[in-house]
């Protein structure tokens, strides 16, 4: 059952609210923000997906080469173009994305009205981000702001780590999970002397899109990889699952919101409770989504039928989600933590 109370002003950030990073770019999507509090404000580290203005009969996409934008143009009738998904295509045997994403900060004092910064905060940099940076989580780990994000390039889709103290200067700490991996969050504190992360590697014939847990002493080197949750047949989360925002410490354990998609790529949000002593143990998992795409702005957009949050603000029993809708907008919703526990049967 959908227990989310959506903001009446949704969507709260739309592509037209975001200034393109270049004159020849169009902002197609602003979505899936990392969420944080900094000083007296709420900040969203938004994923901004841009593309070049399209000419008739031509597919035109930007990539980065030596940290500079390069435009690739392909005739839509080129027999070597395989283009069946609005988000991606293959050309001459190689994969590409249709948009180039960067991360941009939006600030708010009331959590409802946001001002989007004029310029990107984090753009793709170096050889692991030539196709951009996506879907950032802002993890607060022992007081440090650690950003886990998807680094996309011809090398594959990996998890990168960035540290910041002020959301102005960003220090890259490298690739912490090799391809194909994304949807990584870090627990807010050490558990029995180790840091823990959740992430989403992808299997090929064997395995799937499951949630894994790993541990680390230094946040850079990760090991003890274990699969803690799988997709469930004939359910709303049968095709892929991955963690949404950072784990929420509660009296009952670590509360996790996660995304589940079915074979139609309909993305809903569910919840799990992890054992606080051994977070690889799932105490409970919701049978049904706690939020599903129901509104027009969730059902239709760049890639429809998607609700997907990368973060949240906790205020007592209120969990405020800033979520991506239809891979195009940022929206807000509130969920009661005690109602999530009800859905978890605990």
Token pair belonging to 144: 């440090």
90 lies in the binding site for a second copy (CB under 8 A): yes
Which listed range, 14-22, 57-65, 172-180, 312-320, lies at the site for a second copy (CB under 8 A)? 172-180
Which member of 57, 93, 143, 193 binds a second copy (CB under 8 A)? 93
Which listed range, 20-28, 52-60, 215-223, 268-276, lies at the site for a second copy (CB under 8 A)? 215-223
265 lies in the binding site for a second copy (CB under 8 A): no
Which member of 14, 104, 199, 240 binds a second copy (CB under 8 A)? 199
223 lies in the binding site for a second copy (CB under 8 A): yes
Q: Is 151 helix (H, G, I), strand (E, B) or coil?
A: strand
> How do strand 133-141 and strand 253-261 relate by DSSP bridges?
unpaired
Cβ(137)–Cβ(184) below 8 Å:
yes
Shortest approach of a second copy to residue 150 CB, angstroms?
Answer: 11
Closest C-alpha to 255, from 325, 330, 187: 187
Q: Which CB atom, from 208 or from 276, has the smaller least distance to a second copy?
A: 208
Q: Which CB atom, from 82 or from 295, has the smaller least distance to a second copy?
A: 82
Q: Which CB atom, from 74 or from 227, has the smaller least distance to a second copy?
A: 227
**Rounded Cα gap, residues 45 and 309, in angstroms:** 12
Site string for a second copy, 115-134 (x = CB under 8 A): ------------xx--x---
Q: Which CB atom, from 272 or from 337, has the smaller least distance to a second copy?
A: 272
Task: Verify cis geometry, omega within 30 degrees of 0, for the bond prior to 9.
Answer: no
Which member of 32, 99, 153, 164 binds a second copy (CB under 8 A)? 153
233 lies in the binding site for a second copy (CB under 8 A): yes
Shortest approach of a second copy to residue 232 CB, angstroms?
Answer: 12
205 lies in the binding site for a second copy (CB under 8 A): yes
End-to-end, the C-alpha distance of the chain in Å comes to 16
Which member of 37, 189, 203, 294 binds a second copy (CB under 8 A)? 203
Which listed range, 11-19, 71-79, 91-99, 162-170, lies at the site for a second copy (CB under 8 A)? 91-99
The torsion of the CA quartet 125, 157, 31, 96, rounded to 10 degrees, works out to 80
Provide DSSP, 285-315: E-SS-SB---SHHHHSSSS-SBEEEEEEEEE
Which member of 55, 143, 206, 316 binds a second copy (CB under 8 A)? 206
**Rounded Cα gap, residues 323 and 335, in angstroms:** 12
Q: Which CB atom, from 91 or from 170, has the smaller least distance to a second copy?
A: 91
**Rounded Cα gap, residues 145 and 192, in angstroms:** 21
**Rounded Cα gap, residues 41 and 39, in angstroms:** 6
Shortest approach of a second copy to residue 233 CB, angstroms?
Answer: 8
Backbone angles phi, psi at 296, to 5 degrees: -55, -45
- Helix or strand holding residue 342 (H, E): helix 337-344
Q: Which CB atom, from 153 or from 343, has the smaller least distance to a second copy?
A: 153
Residue with tokens 């049978």: 287
139 lies in the binding site for a second copy (CB under 8 A): no
User: Using the 8-state DSSP alphabet, how is residue 93 labeled?
Assistant: T
Token pair belonging to 275: 């054992």
Cβ(224)–Cβ(204) below 8 Å:
no
Query: Could you list the residues that contact a second copy (CB under 8 A)?
Result: 88, 90, 93, 95-97, 127-128, 131, 152-158, 174-181, 199, 201-208, 210, 212, 214-218, 220-227, 230, 233
């Amino acid at each position: 059952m959908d227990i989310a109370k959506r903001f009446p002003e949704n969507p709260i950030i739309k592509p037209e609210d975001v200034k393109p990073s270049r004159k020849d770019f169009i902002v197609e999507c602003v979505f899936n923000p990392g969420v944080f509090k900094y000083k007296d404000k709420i900040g969203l580290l938004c994923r901004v997906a841009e593309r070049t203005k399209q000419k008739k009969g031509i597919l035109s996409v930007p990539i980065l080469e030596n940290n500079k934008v390069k435009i690739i143009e392909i005739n839509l009738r080129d027999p070597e173009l395989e283009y069946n998904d609005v988000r991606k295509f293959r050309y001459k045997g190689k994969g590409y994305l249709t948009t180039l994403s960067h991360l941009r900060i939006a600030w708010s004092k009331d959590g409802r009205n946001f001002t989007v910064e004029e310029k990107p905060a984090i753009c793709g940099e170096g050889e692991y981000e030539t196709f951009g940076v996506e879907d950032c989580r802002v993890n607060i780990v022992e007081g440090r702001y650690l950003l886990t994000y998807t680094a996309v390039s011809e090398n594959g889709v990996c998890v990168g780590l960035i540290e910041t103290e002020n959301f102005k200067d960003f220090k890259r700490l490298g690739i912490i999970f090799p391809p194909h991996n994304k949807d990584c969050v870090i627990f807010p504190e050490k558990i029995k002397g180790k840091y823990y992360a959740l992430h989403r590697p992808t299997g090929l014939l064997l395995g799937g899109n499951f949630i894994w847990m790993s541990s680390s002493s230094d946040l850079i080197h990760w090991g003890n990889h274990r699969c803690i949750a799988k997709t469930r047949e004939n359910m709303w989360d049968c095709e892929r699952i991955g963690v949404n925002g950072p784990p929420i410490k509660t009296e009952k354990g670590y509360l996790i919101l996660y995304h589940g998609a079915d074979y139609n790529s309909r993305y809903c949000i569910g919840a799990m409770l992890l054992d606080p002593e051994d977070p690889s143990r799932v105490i409970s998992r919701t049978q049904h989504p706690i939020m599903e795409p129901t509104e027009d702005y969730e059902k239709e957009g760049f890639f429809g039928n998607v609700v997907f949050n990368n973060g949240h603000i906790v205020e007592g029993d209120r969990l405020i989600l800033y979520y991506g809708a239809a891979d195009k907008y940022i929206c807000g919703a509130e969920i009661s933590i005690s109602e999530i526990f009800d859905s978890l049967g605990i």
